[in-house]
């Protein structure tokens, strides 16, 4: 399952979930901070 978190979610949460959800991402890590919802 793919999971995408917004920029307001701590990177620590993302790191904790990587074991169960290897495709977990955060918009900040993808270079999409401050991007519009449509772009994401």
CA distance 17 to 32: 20
CA-to-CA separations, 30 to 15, 26, in angstroms, rounded = 14, 7
Q: What is the mean pLDDT of residues 6-30?
A: 90
Q: Exposure string (b/e) for 3-30, b if CB count within 10 Å is 16 or more?
A: eebeeeeeeeebeeeeeeeeebebbbee
Q: Provide the residue range defining the domain that includes 40.
A: 1-40
pLDDT(7) > 90: no
Identify the three-state secondary structure at position 12. helix
Number of domains the chain contains: 1
* Own/partner pairs, 7-16, CB within 8 angstroms, 24+ separation: 7/32, 7/33, 7/34
What does the pLDDT read at residue 29?
86
What does the pLDDT read at residue 16?
93
């Amino acid at each position: 399952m793919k999971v995408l978190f917004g920029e307001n979610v701590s990177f620590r949460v993302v790191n904790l979930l990587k074991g169960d959800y290897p495709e977990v991402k955060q918009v900040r890590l993808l270079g999409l901070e401050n991007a519009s919802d449509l772009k994401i």
